[in-house]
Structure 1
Amino acid sequence: MALHSLQPLTECPIHMGPFERPKLLPECQHTFCEDCLKRCQETSGGSLLCPTCRYEYGRIDVHDLPNDRTTLALLQAIDSPVDATKSKIKDVRCEKHKARATVTLKLKNMNGQAVEDRSGVGLIIKVVYPGGGIVEYGNEDTCREYTFRLTSSGTYKIYASVNGTYLSNSPRELTIFPPLRQTSSVFGEVKYEHSHDVAAFEEELFVTDKGGHCVVVTNRSGKHLRSFEIKETNMFAFEPFGIAISKTGLLYITDMYNHEVFVCDTRGKVRQRIGKDVLKKPNGVALTKNNEILVVDYDQCCLFMFENDGKLKRTFCTQGKDYGQFNHPWFVAINSKGDWIVSDCDNRRLQIFDNSGTVRFMKPVPVGHLVRGVVVDSADNIFVSVVIDRAWLKRNYKHAVMMYDSNGNFYGEVSDHLRGDLFQPRGMCITKDGSGEDILIVTGDREELHKYKLIK
């Protein structure tokens, strides 16, 4: 329906002109100008009667009646020089080497002619981020381009509307992937003896240093803040391996040598010990949305689930090559849907389970790759660190970090394996630096942590 055919719907039946502050009578659903209703009320001795159907509303304050939003929207549409159905998002592009993207629009009127003057258009740009966040930009009369910041890899959805009506090709999508074959850079200033895993909480990073028998705490720039060692009764020397952190700041640390999980605060004060009589060689650890504790046991080739109070709830999988079976698993990560992604090391694959423990799908990695660390970003892309079996070293193929999308489709290698700057990668985490770019932190057998950029 052409906008000009809606003109009669925007005229007040009393003064026969365009509505001004249209008010909706709640019982009979008739609409009139606020001032016209006040004059009708005055002529009837202060009691309001609907001028159309004569419904009695009594002595009410006309100003308090609800605004007719539908009529207001029609008025805006008719007054606007832009026809949303003929307009479109012309382009969405990423500015190379910068963490931002630009949206350009092509606006037209009802006759299909380009609209340059955007004053009074009622234009709204809405960006839906990969992690689900939404940023909305209001109309800027002289703006021809709209710029928004990229905060992670994944797919961004860009909506554009005029007076509540979406442009013809809205939404447009922009998918951002990390650049492939990057050269890693050393992260921070700390030298580790044998780091294995890393996790982030608020403004701090926590690194398990198995060789140093401690957890090292740094700030987001990698500057050393403190270290702590756990010393409890009935335990050998502390040898931390995997680490996960709850939303409240509780650390869950696996100890392979002591065969248990220590639960402590960010200063190392132990609150709980879990799994001493069950675990043999606990590696990775993760927390479900229900605050259950998932622990990967390397020796027993299975996945244990503990209740929050430390009681064993379920045991998943046995040793083997079939779906749902493991051969020396290493780490586990949980995506936004609650799925579990397990690095099945010696089976050379990833296994993805739903939150009931049922296998959703399995993804093998290239021949010769032993899977170790696994982590997911805000868009549920999967990153996995791998080492090459010794039989394959003669092929001059180095250790790597690979990326899969949320459906398990292989994207490529984030690291540049030919440079050989990454050796024996293990656990990883996703964090952000001050510019908003996601950074992948990888721990390895050397003294440093390594990082890779996740957006262009």
Structure 2
Amino acid sequence: MYVIDTDNLIKLSPQGEILRTIRINNPKGIAVEGNELYVAGKDKILCFDTMLLNLKWSLADHREWNPFGIAMKQGYIFVTDIKNNCICRILRRGKSSSWICSVQGGLNKPSGIAVDDNCVYVADTDSHMIWLFEKEIQEISSFCTQGKDSGQFDSPSKIAIKGNRIYVLDSGNCRIQVFDSYFR
């Protein structure tokens, strides 16, 4: 198991014992694919091997950015950028990458991100909504109801997918909401 806190990446045993700690400046998001662990943090993405947490590579953009949420799917890295209010899809092949940034201006602090076989889901904190995109980052729809009732959000900040369930950390309402793949 891997955990990030204010300035650390921590590897834990199944019993909760700390196996290794690495100091990282302000990590915000974490994702695992295969034997690689990705961390979104201060102006870059870091990639570590999962066994020893050795740094394999880092990726920075040519512009100022603040990667926050991170998800992996089929060779792509999906990142939310809260500085530029956009989503980046990065094709990772060897040490090169291509970038697609989209939905600029339509997002207001996109933070959490999750990917399934068909869609990219983004928790947009300051808009109090969840966005759905095709993998090419073309908007499909959004769920934008602010409030305290079931299905409404107040500052959703993280999102995760497990099986056919979608989990949303509804920070302002201090709860986790669970939906099926149709957001019911």
The TM-score, its normalising length taken from structure 1, stands at 0.35
* Matched-pair contact (CA < 8 Å) for 1:206–1:216: yes
2:16 pairs with 1:204: no
Alignment deviations for residues 299-338 of structure 1 (CA, whole Å, 9 cap, x no partner): 00100001223221111132110111111111111111x2
| Matching residue's letter, 1:201 | E
Tell me the CA shift for residue 186 of structure 1: 5.6
Tell me the CA shift for residue 345 of structure 1: 0.8
Quick one: structure 1 residues 252 and 306, their matched pair in 2 at CA, closer, same or farther if it must change by over 3 Å? same
Q: Which residue in 2 is equivalent to 1:191?
A: 23
- Which secondary structure does the structure 2 equivalent of 1:346 belong to? helix
- Alpha-carbon distance in structure 1 between the residues aligned to 2:158 and 2:172: 12
Q: 1:218 aligns with which of 25, 29, 48?
A: 48
* Matched-pair contact (CA < 8 Å) for 2:125–2:156: yes
Which shows bigger deviation, 216-225 or 269-278? 269-278
2:106 pairs with 1:278: yes
Q: 2:177 aligns with which of 351, 354, 368?
A: 351
Structure with bigger gyration radius: 1
Quick one: structure 1 residues 186 and 192, their matched pair in 2 at CA, closer, same or farther if it must change by over 3 Å? farther
% same residue = 28
Tell me the CA shift for residue 209 of structure 1: 1.3
* 1:102-251 alignment runs, 5 A limit: 182=16, 185=18, 187-188=20-21, 190-210=22-42, 213-220=43-50, 221-231=52-62, 236-246=63-73, 248-251=74-77
- Alpha-carbon distance in structure 2 between the residues aligned to 1:214 and 1:350: 28
Alignment deviations for residues 141-172 of structure 1 (CA, whole Å, 9 cap, x no partner): xxxxxxxxxxxxxxxxxxxxxxxxxxxxxxxx
- Which secondary structure does the structure 2 equivalent of 1:341 belong to? strand
* Matched-pair contact (CA < 8 Å) for 2:127–2:144: no
Unaligned runs of 5+ in 1: 1-177, 359-456
- Alpha-carbon distance in structure 2 between the residues aligned to 1:264 and 1:187: 28
- Alpha-carbon distance in structure 1 between the residues aligned to 2:20 and 2:54: 9
Aligned length: 168
Alignment deviations for residues 91-142 of structure 1 (CA, whole Å, 9 cap, x no partner): xxxxxxxxxxxxxxxxxxxxxxxxxxxxxxxxxxxxxxxxxxxxxxxxxxxx
Quick one: structure 1 residues 206 and 294, their matched pair in 2 at CA, closer, same or farther if it must change by over 3 Å? same
* Matched-pair contact (CA < 8 Å) for 2:35–2:49: yes
Tell me the CA shift for residue 277 of structure 1: 3.0
* Matched-pair contact (CA < 8 Å) for 2:120–2:134: yes
- Which secondary structure does the structure 1 equivalent of 2:172 belong to? coil
- Alpha-carbon distance in structure 2 between the residues aligned to 1:197 and 1:299: 18
* 1:307-386 alignment runs, 5 A limit: 307-336=134-163, 338-358=164-184
Quick one: structure 1 residues 344 and 316, their matched pair in 2 at CA, closer, same or farther if it must change by over 3 Å? same
Tell me the CA shift for residue 289 of structure 1: 2.9
* Matched-pair contact (CA < 8 Å) for 1:215–1:227: yes
Quick one: structure 1 residues 185 and 346, their matched pair in 2 at CA, closer, same or farther if it must change by over 3 Å? same
* Matched-pair contact (CA < 8 Å) for 1:230–1:270: no
- Alpha-carbon distance in structure 2 between the residues aligned to 1:303 and 1:250: 21
Structure number with higher strand proportion: 2
Q: Which residue in 1 is equivalent to 2:83?
A: 257
Q: 2:117 aligns with which of 285, 289, 293?
A: 289
Tell me the CA shift for residue 280 of structure 1: 1.3
| Matching residue's letter, 1:274 | S
Quick one: structure 1 residues 227 and 324, their matched pair in 2 at CA, closer, same or farther if it must change by over 3 Å? same
- Which secondary structure does the structure 2 equivalent of 1:299 belong to? helix
- Alpha-carbon distance in structure 2 between the residues aligned to 1:224 and 1:288: 27
* 1:425-436 alignment runs, 5 A limit: none
- Alpha-carbon distance in structure 2 between the residues aligned to 1:346 and 1:187: 33
Q: 2:97 aligns with which of 269, 274, 294?
A: 269
Structure 1 segments of 4 or more deviating over 6 A? none
| Matching residue's letter, 1:187 | R
Let me know the Cα RMSD of the aligned residues.
1.7
| Matching residue's letter, 2:87 | V
